[in-house]
Amino acid sequence: MAEASRRKISIRRRTASRAPQPLTAPRTASIEGWISDEYRRFEFITLWKDKPLITPKFIKSQWFVNRRFTIPAFLVEQGVKFFTEMQGTYYPDLVRAFYFNYKFRDGVGFTKVKGVDIILDDDIWENVAQFPIHDGTSPILTTGIEGFNRIFAYRSFMRRPDQEIGRQLLAGSLKVDKRLLHYLIVWILCPRGTNHAQCSEADLMIIYAMLNHIPIHWPSIILDTMLKAK
């Protein structure tokens, strides 16, 4: 009897192990499902879902040091060395949702991604981007720089300052170190999708400030760039 009971228990266990498991629907991630409002979801799908993005870029400061460029010293002084060297995985759909929901008010950026509120305040800039934020920094693009003139600044950055300049202030005419600074501005610090070969007034003002040891309030510069992208 005991042997028969053991066989029955063994059979029941094997049968239980072969019993079909309840089916569960696979969890899928859909960017359309991140936006609950029907009209805004339609707007996102129509205007933002396939919007092209600028591929993130970064530098390795040691490369410049090995070739005796002075750029790393300016990056350290301005507190943006860590920011320009940041690299890692990024997710284009999340970036699009970030900008689709992005708003700017009273010097602070706000957005929401997959139900998570993101506030771009000083805490984010100091602890994530590691920007120095103190009273000595200046939002130069809004306050300007005393004595700054874009034509005079551009000519002082040129390889041949006596060369005639046209309506477009091209980065190709700058000295190598100034041209590299311009590259860092238009591709990493204040990235834009077009006109990388041209020096805007903002580009020249940032270069001028860095070369003249004027501390820049970088959060205001980055937020202004993000607002333009939006």
CA–CA separation, 104 and 226 (whole Å): 9
pTM assigned to the model: 0.81
Q: What angle, rounded to 10 degrees, do the helices at 176-184 and 201-211 form? A: 120
Q: How far is CA 82 from the centre of its chain?
A: 13
pLDDT digits (tens, 9 = 90+) for 176-207: 999 999 999 999 999 998 999 999 999 999 99
- What is the structure's pLDDT at 23? 47
Mean pLDDT on 37-52:
86
pLDDT digits (tens, 9 = 90+) for 79-98: 999 999 999 898 998 999 99
Mean pLDDT, all residues of the chain = 85
Read off the tokens for 34.
């991140």
How many separate helices (H) and strands (E) can be counted in the chain? 12, 3
pLDDT digits (tens, 9 = 90+) for 116-174: 899 999 899 999 999 988 778 888 988 899 999 999 999 999 999 998 888 889 999 99
Local structure of residue 128 (DSSP, 8 states)? T
